[in-house]
Chain A
Amino acid sequence: MTTVLTPAAPAPPVTPGRTRRLVRRVASPWTYAALIAILAGSAFPVYWSFVVSSQTTEAVGSVPPVLVPGGHLFENIARVFDETNFALALGNSVIVAGTITVSVVLFSTLAGFAFAKLKFRGRTFLLLLVVATQAIPTELGVVPLYMMMADFGWAGQLQAVIVPGLVTAFGVFFMRQYFERALPLELLEAGRMDGCGSLRLFWHVALPAARPAAAVLGLFTFMQAWNDFFWPLVVLTPENPTVQTALSTLASGYTTDYTLVLTAATIGTVPVLLVFLLFGRQIVGGIMQGALKG
């Protein structure tokens, strides 16, 4: 997973003597029609996956294809949990994504705080190193990383997925940018005067101030960790999968039961969908200002 930041938005020339008004054209019915059509296209595959998961297996092979939900959703869900190890996969994904999210947020806040507000030798150089490492696709090191995990005896186990994900360059940089803007130095100096050590300063002043940014970082980290596919596929076994690798195993049987596979896909999408419905505003905002990519 790579994360990159956009360059700043262009500063458009402002005509002197004129207020910079941002009056936008009112949307016509055609605009709404076009947007709704695009929206339908965006949502359709996810919707259709849900439709199939509520149908019987026979209905999937019918012409014309089924387009409305049927009444077999719970039956299919029960089948997924009875016939596959999807419950284990869900549990594993919760552990993996949960641990990674907490750790990335904590360590990024810690390092971001140091980079933004504390002085130390080599600070600029180290920060540059963090930014530079953002650009490197981790897929490239996948073979030696696998060799390391095999040496540690971690291959096939969850820590092989968790440990390399515990920190991200993007997180450090993101939190640094936030602290730079949002945490006034006076507040820290006041804390120092009261005799706070650096750690207490972090815990009692910086961490509470970081809450909004940490929440956005946490959302994105969770979604990325939940959806991560390549590395878990390489290092885990079908006996101990995450949701995503379980899906790939389900889909690659000799005779694939599509209702079963798509029901599993639907179940696996529900957690991110819930996060999305609850925090969509922050997610959209995060993308629009920070450009996060999974």
Chain B
Amino acid sequence: MALTLADRRHKWDVKLSPFGFVSPYFLIFGVFGLFPLLYTAFVSLQKRNLLDAEGAQFIGFGNYEQLLFHDPYFWNSMGNTVSLWLLTTIPQILFALGIAHLLNRRLRGRMFFRMGMILPNITSVAAVTIIFAQLFGRDFGLVNWVLSWFGAGQVDWQAGTASSHTAIAAMVVWRWTGYHALIFLASMQAIPSSMYEAATLDGARGWQQFWRITVPLLRPQIIFSTVIATTGNMRLLAEPLLFNPGTAAATGGSDRQFQTAALYLYEQGFTKYDFGYSSAIALILAVATMLVAGLSYLVTRRIQTD
């Protein structure tokens, strides 16, 4: 029995069409996503300047040696990244838990409140940072005006390490807390009230119930949010870049007091055009991100479940 033309066409259709359907993704991602990523490793072993493409030289681990052992600016930027990681991740998670707890009640205008919490997250990082830079201005900033009620002096937020980190952390926390709160809220709503009733019978009150029932049951979401916040923080760039725009933008302040590692990568690659060095920073940052994300995973995994 010979196959008819239609049968044969059907056979080929079933066999090949799926590959046709997935190929746009793999083609575009392969060329513009995966290839650059792998090529970074190669570029990082070169002395390579954008303006002198012919003069690219293979120098092995020279860039890494320079970065790790002879470059205080790199370590300064890593230190700033870690400092901002601590200042952003912990408040984000704690505030988000609190807000989710408030939202997890019988509430009029539920959708209105939820939308309000997520509003910061939909605004662009560029707009947010420019607005916050104004709020944290030294002479006419709103934050300093409010502080003056309490007799606090005029803080020059951009000038110091601690003050600039606080201001940048405020932007990040403001932008992301509502997002995490909604994630927490979703799983809070799945906790049956019988668990709280039982706890009430056992004599546990509000706060105890929150820490002993709600938080442990949210462990998977807390782990997720912490890892997300961590990886997001490790590539913090727009906030420090736009916090003090002008000539010292890419250096993160006049004294590099708030230059993050991602911003240092940008400075080396796209203001000094040192592509080899910049690629080496990218790879070290990737490894550091995995380490820090792994660390925060381990810490959050220890949330008590009894």
With contact pairs A48-B131, A141-B37 given, residues A7 and B224 touching in the complex (Cβ less than 8 Å) = yes
Assess whether B132 is interfacial by the CB under 8 Å rule: yes
Chain A interface SS verdict (over half): helix
Once the chains are docked, how many angstroms separate the CA of A227 from the CA of B21?
Answer: 29
B115–A148 contact, CB under 8 A?
A: no
CA distance A221 to B87 in the complex (A): 29
A-B contact count (CB 8 A): 320
> Across the two chains, which residue of chain A brings its CB closest to B268?
A143
Interface string of A51-71 (1 = CB under 8 A from B): 010000000111111000000
Q: Considering the complex, which residues of chain B in the window 32-64 have a beta carbon less than 8 Å from any beta carbon of chain A?
A: 32-37, 39-40, 43, 50
Q: Check A139–B282 contact: CB distance below 8 A.
A: yes
Which residues in window 114-139 of A have CB below 8 A to B? Answer: 114-115, 118-120, 123, 126, 130, 133, 136-139
B117–A46 CB distance below 8 A: no
Task: Give, as a whole number of angstroms, the nearest-CB distance from B108 to chain A.
Answer: 8
Q: Is the CB of B106 within 8 A of A14?
A: no
Check if B289 is an interface residue, CB within 8 A of chain A.
yes
Stretch in B72-80, B161-169, B178-186 touching the partner: B178-186
Cβ of B33 and Cβ of A133 under 8 Å apart? yes
Report how far A244 CA is from B124 CA in the complex, Å: 8
Known: A18-B194, A141-B37, A288-B186. A42 touches B120 (CB 8 A): yes
Given contacts A22-B192, A143-B279, A248-B245, contact A234 B270 (CB under 8 A): yes
B24 and A111 within 8 A (CB) = yes
Assess the B220–A143 pair: CB atoms within 8 A: no
Asked, given contacts A10-B217, A166-B28, A234-B270, whether A34 binds B102 with beta carbons under 8 Å apart, the answer is: yes
In the assembled complex, the Cα of A266 lies from the Cα of B104 at a distance in Å of 32
**Number of residues on chain A facing chain B (CB within 8 A):** 115
Write the B215-256 contact mask toward A (1 if CB under 8 angstroms, else 0): 001111101100010011001011001100110010000000
Contact partner of A46 (CB less than 8 A), chosen from B18, B39, B119, is: B119
Which of B19, B22, B124, B133 is within 8 Å of A226, CB to CB?
Answer: B124
Given contacts A20-B192, A46-B123, whether A252 and B249 have CB atoms under 8 Å apart is yes
Task: Name the interface residues of B9-38: CB closer than 8 Å to any CB of A.
Answer: 9-10, 13-15, 17-22, 24-26, 28-29, 32-37
B-chain residues with CB within 8 Å of residue A22 when the two chains form the complex: 189, 192-193
Report if B94 contacts A (CB, 8 A).
Answer: no
A118-B21 in contact (CB<8A): yes
| B interface: dominant SS | helix
Min CB–CB distance A123 → chain B (angstroms): 8
The range of chain B's interface size is 35 or more
A287:B279 contact, CB within 8 angstroms:
no
User: Is A273 at the interface (CB under 8 A from chain B)?
Assistant: yes
**How far, in Å, is A177 (CB) from chain B's closest CB?**
15
Interchain CB contact under 8 A, A142 and B105:
no
A107, CB-defined interface residue at 8 Å? yes
Closest Cβ neighbor of A197 among chain B residues: B13
A-B interface, 4 closest residue pairs, ranked by CB to CB distance from nearest:
A141-B36, A198-B17, A252-B245, A114-B21
Given contacts A62-B140, A251-B245, 14 further A-B contacts (CB under 8 A): A10-B187, A11-B190, A41-B174, A65-B141, A114-B17, A115-B22, A136-B37, A142-B36, A144-B37, A145-B32, A197-B13, A247-B130, A272-B123, A293-B232
List B residues at the A interface (Cβ < 8 Å).
9-10, 13-15, 17-22, 24-26, 28-29, 32-37, 39-40, 43, 50, 99, 102-108, 111, 113-128, 130-135, 139-142, 145, 174, 178-179, 182-183, 185-187, 189-195, 198, 217-221, 223-224, 228, 231-232, 235, 237-238, 241-242, 245-246, 249, 262, 265-266, 269-270, 275, 278-279, 282-283, 285-286, 289
